[in-house]
Amino acid sequence: MRGIVLAGGSGTRLRPLTTIHSKHLLPVYDKPMIHYPLAVLMLTGIREILLISNPEHLGTYRTLLGDGRDIGISLSYAAQERPGGLAEALLLGRDFIADQPICLILGDNIFYGHRLPGLLREEAKRLDGCTLFGYRVSDPRRYGVATVNAAGDVLSLEEKPERPRSNLAVTGLYMYGKGVADRAARLTPSARGELEITDLNLQYVHERRARLVDLGRGTAWFDAGTHDSLLEAAMFVQALEKRQGIRISCIEEVAYRMGYIDRDQLHLLGKELSIGSEYGRYIADVADECTVPADFS
């Protein structure tokens, strides 16, 4: 399986913060937002990743992340000239996807949960068609909403319904089997001129090949696309890290725990970052086998 992080868009809901900056480079407590979705893909076992963003921001992402070699992955980049819908990512990444299953994650989605890494790896193995990930919310009218049967098969999908049939929101994390880029190529733009991810997912629903995994009460999910949700996510990360002495979505630690890099490589990364940085010292401590738990995400 390969992975795509969609980090494009204009970030209008976060202006003036995003007037000159990419939304996905804004800080979420102690690290850039982009680290969080990148960590999710790495925890799924994905090492080949395409990052899609606006042309004017790609250089900054390359400076921040490079080609991924330092953390044991292969990271490439593609430009989205203008917002064309979430499903357009699958067209922009068509050559990258080739004939492989794909996991697409939105760059402003933050996930955390004790059982999440294992769950994602299991879902990647059993993928057949389309797998969505749901989260129960208090105001489902703001989201895409799904109804499912007892087996998790998706029965209906609606985008921001006035009268939701359930409170199960569809998060910005999607897994697709082979051939999804061809499906995306056959989509018709919506009234707003975009290729809608819901239209793509509905194809699988009609074929009875779409399932939804309810992330449950033990998982946290943030769509950090507004000022309030960005602050809430940062406060959640701060509280958890301070109480438990861990770092959420520390991509260097993820690479080490997943076996993508060895201890010497991790120690070198920590040394490079540790001058005046608590984050770097944490990485060095992990490399020195500090008492950091292995159950991380």
Cβ burial 9-37 (10 Å sphere, 16+ → b, else e): bebeebeeebeeebbbbbebbbbbbbbbb
What is the tens place of the pLDDT at every residue in 129-153? 999 999 999 988 988 999 999 999 9
Q: Which of 130, 112, 117 is nearest to 36 (CA)?
A: 112
* Alpha-carbon span 246 to 243, nearest angstrom: 8
- The pLDDT of residue 15 is above 60: yes
- The pLDDT of residue 235 is above 80: yes
Q: Could you give the 3-state DSSP secondary structure of residue 151?
A: coil
Confidence of residue 14 (pLDDT cuts 50, 70, 90): low
Tokens 């199960």 sit on residue: 168
- The pLDDT of residue 257 is above 50: yes
> pLDDT averaged over the chain?
91
Q: Which of 213, 25, 162, 178 is nearest to 107 (CA)?
A: 25
**109-113 and 219-223 beta bridge pairing:** antiparallel
pLDDT score recorded for residue 16: 66
* Alpha-carbon span 31 to 138, nearest angstrom: 28
What is the tens place of the pLDDT at every residue in 19-75? 667 888 999 999 999 999 999 999 999 999 999 999 998 999 999 999 999 999 999
Stretch among 117-121, 148-152, 227-231, 253-257 having the lowest mean pLDDT: 227-231
177: which 2 tokens?
């089997």
What is the tens place of the pLDDT at every residue in 173-198? 999 999 999 999 999 999 888 899 99
pLDDT score recorded for residue 22: 82
pLDDT score recorded for residue 249: 95
- The residues, ordered by sequence, that sit 6+ positions from 224 with a Cβ below 8 Å of its Cβ are 28, 33, 108, 109, 110, 230, 233
Which CA distances in Å does 157 have to 60, 88, 170?
A: 36, 19, 9
Confidence of residue 271 (pLDDT cuts 50, 70, 90): confident
**β-bridge partners, 113:** 219
Stretch among 24-33, 120-129, 223-232, 245-254 having the lowest mean pLDDT: 223-232
